[in-house]
Amino acid sequence: MKITGLIIAILAGALLIYATADFPGWGDAASPASTHVSPRYIEKTMEETSVPNMVTAVLADYRGFDTMFETTVIFSAGVVCFILLRVFGSEEPKESLYRHVLTGVTIRVRAGGEIPPDSDDFERIDVMWTPFDLIIKTMCRILIPFIQLFGLYVIAHGHHSPGGGFQGGVILGASIILFAISHDLRTALRRIRERIDALLCATGVFIYAGTGALCLLLGLNFLDYAALASILGVDPITARSHGIFIVEIGVGIAVMATMIWIYNNVSSRGKYDEGL
């Protein structure tokens, strides 16, 4: 197997290297790639979409259709992880462990036993050696809001600076995942329930595709944001910019929710217990 792998890899590499002979040099401004299609993006973006960030414009408008399916890919990955891993109604263990937060004492509760309801002094743990780290938890509590704020900024400012739905969405998702890691999955799930999360995934993509479909209903082609002008009450160019913004929000929601969903399923093997 190793030999074959080596041979195949070398063959493929040799073929590809052989092809580079006819490639333009690196950064060659005269290469077809930089002269055939892209110049229009660079020169016309501003007046066609009034979005200074060409990447965002191309991503969400010129090739917005790709991006919609890109979001769909993420979404379907989330669904696949869910359908593969999620186990419903995993039977409660005979006895569950609780830790008394203030003293750090661990207590066993037999099945049917009850800890004092609505008291934050106890937290559920799955194994005895689950560490309890006050510093990490506190730091994360402080950090997470800023992370999320930054995520929102990245989404919102995608028009003018590097950024956009994906980046922002990932940051938002990461903030929640950080929370889940620093505390435990149950606590995180109490913040964002599984169902809400799954619905958010669908909603995010739906915002994107729905915007496109709306353009279609308004009489122009699919994803032709210019059609939104009549609704938003602006000129078509600005409508494009706004349309891009709307779909970026959709992307952000979808990516965030899916990241969380995948993490939840993978980290807890679909049991939705303590997690990592």
Partner 1 sequence: MGDLIQLLVAKYNYWIYITLMMIGLYAMIAKNNLVKKIVGMNIFQTAIILFYVSIGSKKGGTIPIIEHGHGAAGSHVVHAADYINPLPHVLMLTAIVVSVATLGVALALAIKVYERYNTLEEDEILAQIREK
Partner 2 sequence: MSEQYPALLVVVPLLSALLISAAGWLKKRLCFPIAVVALGVAAYASIGLLIRVLNEGVIIYRLGGWPPPWGIAYYVDHLNGLVLAVVSVVAFINLIASQKSIEEEFPEKTGAFYTLYVLMVTGLLGIVVTGDAFNLYVLLEIASLTGYGLIAMGQKDRAPLASLNYLYMGTIGACFYLLGVGYLYIVTGSLNMVDIARILPPLYQSKAVLTAFIICMVGVWLKMALFPLHAWLPNAYTYAPSASSSLIAPLMTKVMIYVMIRLILTVFTPQFAFSNLAISNSIVWLAVLAIVMGAILALAQTNLKKMLTYVIIAEVGYMVGGAWLGNRAGMTGAILHIVNDALMTLCAFMVVSNIVYKVKGYAFEDLKGLLRKMPFTMGAFVIGALSIIGVPPTCGFFSKWYLISGALKAGHYGFMVALLFSSLVNVVLFFRVLEISYYEPFSNHHVGDHHPEPMAEAPLTMLVPLIIVAAGLVLVGLYTGDIVNHIIQFAIPKGIV
Pick the closest to residue 197 from 67, 75, 73, 85 (CA basis). Answer: 75
| Residue whose tokens read 């939840």 | 264
96 binds, among partner 2, partner 1, none (CB under 5 to 8 A by kind): none
Asked if 83 is part of the footprint of partner 2 (rule: CB under 8 A), the reply reads yes
Type of residue found at 120:
D
Report, in Å, the least distance between residue 40 CB and partner 1: 8
Q: Which residues neighbour 155 within 8 Å (Cβ) at sequence distance 6 or greater?
A: 163, 164, 165, 167, 168, 169, 172, 248, 249, 252
Asked if 30 is part of the footprint of partner 2 (rule: CB under 8 A), the reply reads no
Nearer to partner 2, 82 or 263 (CB): 82
Asked if 221 is part of the footprint of partner 2 (rule: CB under 8 A), the reply reads yes
Q: Pattern of binders to partner 1 over 16-45, x per CB under 8 A?
A: xx--xx-x-xxxxx-x-xxx-xxx-xxx-x
Query: Is 237 in contact with 48 (CB distance < 8 Å)?
Result: yes
Q: For residue 275, is it left (φ>0), alpha (ψ between -120 and 50) or beta?
A: left
* SS3 labels along 3-51: HHHHHHHHHHHHHHHHHHCCCCCCCCCCCHHHHCCHHHHHHHHHHHHCC
Q: Footprint of partner 2 on this chain (CB under 8 A)?
A: 12, 15-16, 18-24, 31-38, 40-41, 61-66, 68-70, 72-73, 75-77, 79-80, 82-84, 86, 88, 195, 198-199, 201-203, 205-206, 209-210, 212-213, 216, 220-226
Which residues in this chain contact partner 1 in the complex, by CB under 8 A?
A: 1-2, 4-6, 8-10, 12-13, 16-17, 20-21, 23, 25-29, 31, 33-35, 37-39, 41-43, 45-47, 50, 52-55, 57-59, 63, 66-67, 70-71, 73-74, 76-78, 80-81, 84-85, 159-162, 166, 237, 255, 262, 265-266, 269
